[in-house]
Amino acid sequence: METRRDIFQAIADPTRRAILLLLASHAMTPNALAEEFNSSRQAVSKHIQILSECELVKQEQKGREIYYHINADQMKEIDKWVEQFRKIWETRFNQLDKVLLTIKKEKK
Amino acid sequence: MNDLLFDFTLDKSKKTAFINREFDAELSLVWDAFTKKEILDQWWAPKPWSSKTKAMNFEPGGRRFYAMVSPEGMERWSIQKYTSISPKTNFKFLNAFADENENPDLPGSDWDISFSEEKGKTKVSVAIYNESLERMEKMIEMGFKEGFTMTMNYLEELLTTLSKR
């Protein structure tokens, strides 16, 4: 599927991954985003453009400012959110298994 | 790997995520692992993240104020305010993201955790309710954030595999 390949290419870049990571916590203006990186606003907006083209990022006009949001629906296409969430619990509980085992051994 | 029960379901109509898991340990030990900060911090954060509990008083009306710390040292704070505790059976809390000064970002999500023991194994059932689907999405987004490193490692592997074809 062509769209899918585009998404994968979009997130193959470390800066774009960092942008997604930031936007996952809250919406940001282009200037605020540029300040997070040691690069020009143009460079950041180029990355944003690529992310927007594959709909990973949406923009919203609020007064005079543009805010970028992460597009949750589209992120599902990469690696299903729910699967990710499930994975966290799986990892968390596998860690707990180890902790419980250690405590049981100490008690003996 | 082990053959202990693990299931995870996300019921959008009930706005609730359900997680059931069995542990090969007696109930009192598993209860401690969920209710004592020294043990909680050892497993709560999926690696490479770590969990740091700044304050915790496990009693009705009490709270746990803790951070998920990324490998780069970024802290994501949350407050879990205990609303009900039935020792070794169940406890409930209201979970909210917060800033480092313990100001909650409300509304949060309602967590309900039940424990039962059978034949030396302990079953834990977690239900996480969000009052709006939007919150649910946000919670999943945050979950995504915590799992971001993992996802990216997975994706990089996948990309490498794909590019070798």
Query: How many domains, in total, are found in chain A?
Result: 1
The answer on pLDDT for B86 being more than 80 is: yes
Examine the pLDDT at A6 and tell me if it is beyond 70.
Answer: no
Domain-embedded: residue A88? no
Facing residue for B143 by CB, picked from A78, A84, A97? A84
Whether residue A41 lies inside any domain: the answer is yes
Please check the confidence at residue B81 and state whether its pLDDT lies above 50. yes
Residues of B in Cβ contact (< 8 Å) with A26? none
Residue B13's pLDDT is: 65
pLDDT digits (tens, 9 = 90+) for B90-143: 999 998 888 999 998 877 789 999 999 998 899 999 998 877 656 666 665 555
Q: State whether A98 and B43 contact (CB < 8 Å).
A: yes
Average pLDDT over residues A74-86: 64
Could you tell me if residue A24 is inside a domain? yes
Q: What is the mean pLDDT of residues B75-82?
A: 92
Q: Which domains does chain B have, with CATH numbers?
A: 6-164 (3.30.530.20)
What CATH number is associated with residue A21? 1.10.10.10
B83 within 8 A of B92, measured Cβ to Cβ: yes
Please name the member of B29, B147, B162 whose beta carbon is closest to the beta carbon of A88: B147
B148 pLDDT more than 70: no
In a domain, residue A107? The reply is no
> Is there a domain that residue A67 lies in?
yes
pLDDT score at B90 = 98
Q: What residues contact A76, with CB distance under 8 A and at least 6 apart?
A: none
Please judge whether A84 and B144 are an interchain contact, meaning their C-beta atoms are less than 8 angstroms apart. Answer: yes
From chain B, pick out residues whose CB is under 8 angstroms from the CB of A70. 141
Contacts of A74 in chain B (CB under 8 A): none
Q: Give the burial class of B13: count Cβ atoms within 10 A of its Cβ; 0-12 exposed, 13-18 middle, 19 or more buried.
A: exposed
Residue A69 lies in a domain: yes
Averaged pLDDT score across all residues of chain A: 80
CB contacts, 8 Å: B76 with chain A = 25
Given a cut of 90, whether residue A42 has pLDDT beyond it is: no
Per-residue confidence (pLDDT) for residue A16, from 0 to 100 = 84
Rounded-to-10 torsion of CA A47, B160, A21, A86: 150
Model confidence at A9, pLDDT cuts 50, 70, 90, reads low
Regarding predicted confidence, which is higher, B4 or B139?
B4
Verify whether the Cβ–Cβ distance A103 to B44 is below 8 Å.
no
**Separation of alpha carbons B164 and A54, rounded Å:** 24
The answer to whether position A39 is within a domain reads yes
User: Tens digit of pLDDT for each residue in B28-52?
Assistant: 999 999 999 999 999 888 777 889 9
| Per-residue confidence (pLDDT) for residue B140, from 0 to 100 | 59
Q: What percent of chain B has pLDDT over 70?
A: 75
For chain B, give the percent of residues with pLDDT over 90: 39
Does residue A84 register a pLDDT over 70? Answer: no
Higher pLDDT, B52 or B164: B52
d(CA B155, CA B161): 10
Asked whether residue B147 carries a pLDDT value surpassing 70, the answer given is no
pLDDT for residue B65 is more than 60: yes
Domain range for A54: 2-77
User: What pLDDT, in 10s, does the model give residues A12-41?
Assistant: 677 887 788 788 777 888 888 888 887 788
Nearest by CB to A24, from B4, B25, B144: name it. B144
Q: What is the DSSP letter of A40?
A: -
Tell me if A90 is assigned to some domain. no
